[in-house]
Amino acid sequence: MLNPLPSITRSILSCANGRRPTETTPPSGHCSARPMKRAGGAFGGLLLASLATTGVAQAEPQNDRQPSARHYVLSDVTPAGQTSHFPAYDALTGNVLVSNISESTVSEVDPGQGVVRTFAVGAAPHTVQVDAAARRAYVVNKGASSVSEMDLESGQTVTTFPVGPNPHGLKLDPRRDRIYVTSIDANQLEVYQLSPPHNQLAVIPVGPGPWGVDAKGDLVVTTDTGGNTLHLIDAETLQITGVVEVGEGPWNPSIGASGTVYATIGGSGEMVAVRDQSVLWRTAIGPRPLGINADEARRVVFAAVGDADQVAFVDTRNGRLFQRVDVPAGPAGVTYDPMTGIAYVASQDAGAVDSLSPAFAGRANAARRR
């Protein structure tokens, strides 16, 4: 049963007391402006050009009160489609593309404003990725065993190509002209050509039930949900370089700029960090953690905690849980804007995209995106 969201977008930034206002009572004090566009004119051209080139410690939960630079607030809840599942950030427009499982669509959402347009894709779309420089987006269709390619200039779905059975994870590597797709039923990572006609380049057997995949630099990693492991793969040779046991039901991975791999562990409700095939730390974040993203520039890794209706923020350096933020029902996938630090979360049961802003940068962030 879906939890309906009010028809209007709610701007509900926490104010000085740190509490969220009710739906009928607007916030008082300092409240945010919505994130604005930042891709027009000469700046947009420069951004497009830049995009084209580019022993286990058990962490203790910490009090949520941290310095302002370490504090996040729920600044917007924007209606998207039904069962909004996995978001991806478009660095050129500032919009978020999100899959809608039950509608077989992907919505392009202007945070704080609403749905800009909707793409028809395959059955049960899940993970979304954006190639901002090429003006393309991709989604894995779990119910159709395919990947759909969307043209962000024309607003059309331009092609759909078959992949292995029950696909879920998806990651782009434009530098190597690759798409990585995990096939849960085939227990494998599949590698396809990013450019048309999307030929299959390789098939790599991994652990049982690989759910998620990430790639950065020379590292590719899968989370083997049925095998309780991470498979580490050399992106150049496509050879497996290590297998790390991380706990029951690893869900999604995120590779930081340092090469550290962060992952959510569904069975234990934890987040772990792995480096050089060793677990650096693990910390409890709540029941059924799902999507995860590492923003090492701000020393934070955050994850959706599905059964708690929260997003957990953890210090990348030591695994300290420093904040939980309540969000609408059913948070699943997450993404973020590297420039402003704003995190975006797809709340599946509420059919919404939530914006979580660093509190210290609320108004500055909005100004930078104008």
Question: Which of 51-61 are b and which e, b meaning 16 or more Cβ less than 10 Å from the residue's Cβ?
Answer: beeeeeeebee
- Best CA proximity match to 39, nearest among 50, 26, 24, 28: 50
Residue numbers of the domain that contains 311? 66-81+246-370
Write down the pLDDT at residue 360.
Answer: 60
CA atoms of 96 and 125, how far apart (whole Å)? 15
Write down the pLDDT at residue 10.
Answer: 33
Q: Which residues of 194-260 form beta strands (DSSP E)?
A: 200-205, 210-216, 219-224, 229-234, 240-245, 250-255
Encoding tokens for residue 186?
A: 């085939």
- Torsions phi, psi of 117, nearest 5? -165, 165
* CB contact at 8 A, 206 and 190: no
- Edge-to-edge, what's the strand order for the sheet holding 167-173? 167-173, 178-183, 188-193, 200-205
Domain count along the chain: 1
CA atoms of 350 and 370, how far apart (whole Å)? 28
Q: Does residue 136 form part of some domain?
A: no
Tell me which H or E stretch contains 44.
Answer: helix 41-53
Q: Does residue 124 form part of some domain?
A: no
* CB contact at 8 A, 158 and 149: yes
162-201 confidence digits (pLDDT tens): 999 999 999 999 999 999 999 999 999 999 999 999 999 9
CA 140 distance to own-chain centroid? 14
CA 225 distance to own-chain centroid? 18
Q: Does residue 311 form part of some domain?
A: yes
Q: Does residue 183 form part of some domain?
A: no
- Do β-strands 250-255 and 200-205 pair in parallel, antiparallel, or remain unpaired? unpaired
- Edge-to-edge, what's the strand order for the sheet holding 289-295? 289-295, 300-305, 310-315, 321-326
Q: If you write DSSP's letter for every residue of 188-210 in order, what string do you get?
A: EEEEEESSTT--EEEEEE-SSSE
Encoding tokens for residue 321?
A: 């849980």
Q: Does residue 361 form part of some domain?
A: yes
The model's pTM? 0.82
CA atoms of 27 and 1, how far apart (whole Å)? 29
CA atoms of 82 and 346, how far apart (whole Å)? 11
Q: Does residue 180 form part of some domain?
A: no
Residue owning tokens 């500055």: 364
Residue ranges of the chain whose pLDDT lies below 50: 1-56, 59-69, 361-370
247: left (phi over 0), alpha (psi -120 to 50) or beta: left
* CB contact at 8 A, 179 and 193: yes
* CB contact at 8 A, 319 and 311: no
Q: Does residue 225 form part of some domain?
A: no
Q: Does residue 336 form part of some domain?
A: yes
Write down the pLDDT at residue 359.
Answer: 83
Write down the pLDDT at residue 25.
Answer: 27
**231 bridge partner residues:** 222, 243
Write down the pLDDT at residue 32.
Answer: 35
100-137 confidence digits (pLDDT tens): 999 999 999 999 999 999 999 999 999 999 999 999 99
CATH of the domain at 302: 2.130.10.10
Q: What is the dihedral of CA 212, 215, 221, 223, to 10 degrees?
A: -10
- Best CA proximity match to 230, nearest among 216, 218, 215, 213: 213
